[in-house]
């Protein structure tokens, strides 16, 4: 399309010169990161930061005497009796990340809690499993052959505590809120800003076709908003790593998250579609306003509705019916959650992508028709 590249570069330069617009691009996410990490540092530590003085295998539901059973890395290995409930004990400061806990309260369903990511804990888990199987043989040695018992259940504490459930719940809110806020900020200046500066009519008289003009503005808003949201989430990931390194509770929800390359690419694809839709809507609103401040105020209902939709998705229970995947904004929240929880259906994915694209095209057509309206140009 003729002239679209020039309009795109012009809009990007204009955004780069406007320091107030760039405040939400980098400074605000950095301040949010520092504040959140600072607040997490005030929380009590998990007890895993201190070096262990010895390695321990705790036994719950079984009467054992505290016993030193060997050495490893110049540290003693102890068998210790545990009186506290397993779920409470593994979260206490007494349970180190090198330790293991054997729940012997149900001999037909023995559980061994350990940290798979820690080499010492993984080694002690194998020793604990061997002890459990020897106990089976000792207790049931007089029973008939062919009697089978349930396998020992391994519980990786790291995996248990850091499933994708939290980030699946938070990602729509974390992505949509900065995205809509940034688009509201950047899109407000596209047309309304030109009107306030008196340059709008010069652009109208240029040989650039209306479609190229509008698309250039939309693409510039989409790109800068995606980059800003990427910075925001990237800093949250960094904050999560900082919390993990400092052994404080992760306030960001990214610690331990597992995501495949396909899931990542699909999330990016839907984020691009969502950003394109919002940018279309932002330019349309800016077209009907006389200055940047008026455009930002007019954008507030859209930002509010998007925020409410993302918050409603956080309280979603179970699998939603297919009709919910047609609700604008709310449907993108559902598909983000489904992708991270590995339960996304192809039909629902296509439904969301198609509905977002059709809605964006409809808004673009409305913008082009409105651009030709004399009352809008006045």
- Which tens digit of pLDDT belongs to each residue from 14-33? 777 766 655 656 666 677 66
Query: Per-residue pLDDT for 148 more than 60?
Result: no
**Percentage of the chain with pLDDT > 70?**
75
Q: What per-residue confidence (pLDDT) applies to 9?
A: 83
Q: Identify the bridge partners of residue 113 per DSSP, sorted by sequence position.
A: 101, 155
Q: What is the mean pLDDT of residues 149-154?
A: 55
Residue whose entry in the numeric block shows the structure tokens 């009907």: 288
Q: What per-residue confidence (pLDDT) applies to 162?
A: 41
Query: Per-residue pLDDT for 155 more than 70?
Result: no
User: Apex CA 266: angle with CA 265 and CA 268, to 5°?
Assistant: 65
Tokens of residue 125, six digits: 């888990």
Q: What is the mean pLDDT of residues 280-304?
A: 86
Query: Per-residue pLDDT for 305 more than 80?
Result: yes
More confident residue, 253 or 88: 88
Q: What is the mean pLDDT of residues 81-90?
A: 84
Cα distances from 265 to residues 97, 150, 170, 262, 359, in angstroms, run: 34, 41, 18, 5, 22
**Percentage of the chain with pLDDT > 90?**
3
Q: What is the mean pLDDT of residues 99-112?
A: 83
Query: Per-residue pLDDT for 266 more than 50?
Result: yes
Q: What per-residue confidence (pLDDT) applies to 362?
A: 92
**Residue 248, SS3?**
coil
Query: Per-residue pLDDT for 221 more than 60?
Result: yes
Which tens digit of pLDDT belongs to each residue from 39-63? 556 655 544 445 678 889 898 888 7
Closest-CA residue to 56 (of 125, 152, 3):
125
Q: What per-residue confidence (pLDDT) applies to 358?
A: 92
How many other CB atoms are there within 10 angstroms of residue 29's CB atom?
20
Q: Identify the bridge partners of residue 358 per DSSP, sorted by sequence position.
A: none
More confident residue, 208 or 41: 208
Which tens digit of pLDDT belongs to each residue from 310-339? 888 877 766 688 888 888 888 888 888 888
Q: What per-residue confidence (pLDDT) applies to 19?
A: 65
Q: What is the mean pLDDT of residues 176-199?
A: 78
Q: What per-residue confidence (pLDDT) applies to 192?
A: 82
- With both helix axes pointing from N to C terminus, report the angle between 165-187 and 210-245 in degrees, rounded to the nearest 10: 140
Among the ranges given (46-60, 186-200, 301-315), the one the predictor scored with the smallest mean pLDDT? 46-60
Mean pLDDT over each residue of the chain, to the nearest integer: 77
Q: What per-residue confidence (pLDDT) applies to 49?
A: 44
Query: Per-residue pLDDT for 150 more than 50?
Result: no
Query: Can you say whether the dihedral through the CA atoms of 98, 103, 107, 108 is positive or negative?
Result: negative
Which tens digit of pLDDT belongs to each residue from 89-101? 887 778 887 888 8
The residues, ordered by sequence, that sit 6+ positions from 118 with a Cβ below 8 Å of its Cβ are 97, 98
More confident residue, 367 or 41: 367
């Amino acid at each position: 399309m003729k002239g679209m590249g020039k309009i795109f570069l012009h809009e990007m330069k204009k955004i780069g010169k406007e320091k107030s617009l760039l405040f939400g691009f980098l400074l605000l996410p950095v301040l949010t990161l520092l504040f959140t990490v600072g607040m997490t540092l005030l929380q009590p530590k998990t007890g895993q930061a201190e070096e262990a003085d010895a390695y321990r295998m705790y036994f719950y539901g079984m009467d054992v005497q505290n016993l030193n059973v060997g050495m490893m890395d110049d540290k003693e290995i102890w068998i210790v009796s545990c009186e506290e409930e397993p779920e409470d004990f593994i979260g206490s400061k007494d349970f180190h990340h090198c330790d293991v806990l054997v729940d012997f309260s149900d001999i037909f369903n023995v559980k061994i809690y350990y940290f798979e990511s820690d080499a010492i804990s993984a080694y002690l888990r194998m020793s604990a499993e061997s002890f459990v199987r020897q106990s089976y043989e000792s207790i049931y040695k007089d029973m008939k052959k062919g009697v089978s018992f349930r396998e020992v259940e391994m519980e990786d504490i790291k995996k248990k505590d850091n499933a994708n459930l939290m980030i699946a719940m938070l990602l729509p809110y974390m992505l949509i809120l900065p995205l809509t806020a940034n688009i509201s900020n950047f899109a407000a200046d596209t047309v309304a800003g030109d009107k306030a500066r008196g340059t709008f009519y010069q652009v109208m008289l240029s040989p650039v076709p209306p479609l190229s003009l509008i698309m250039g503005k939309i693409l510039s808003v989409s790109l800068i908003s995606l980059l800003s949201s990427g910075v925001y989430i990237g800093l949250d990931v960094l904050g999560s790593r900082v919390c993990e390194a400092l052994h404080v509770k992760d306030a960001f929800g990214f610690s331990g998250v597992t995501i495949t390359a396909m899931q990542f690419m699909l999330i990016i694809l839907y984020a691009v579609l969502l950003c394109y839709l919002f940018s279309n809507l932002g330019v349309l609103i800016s077209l009907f306003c006389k200055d940047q401040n008026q455009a930002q105020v007019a954008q507030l209902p859209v930002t509010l509705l998007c925020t409410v939709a993302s918050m409603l998705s956080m309280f979603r229970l179970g699998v939603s019916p297919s009709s919910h995947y047609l609700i604008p904004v709310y449907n993108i929240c559902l598909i983000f959650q489904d992708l991270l929880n590995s339960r996304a259906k192809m039909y629902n994915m296509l439904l969301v992508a198609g509905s977002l694209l059709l809605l964006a095209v409809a808004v673009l057509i409305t913008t082009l028709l409105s651009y030709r309206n004399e009352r809008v140009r006045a």
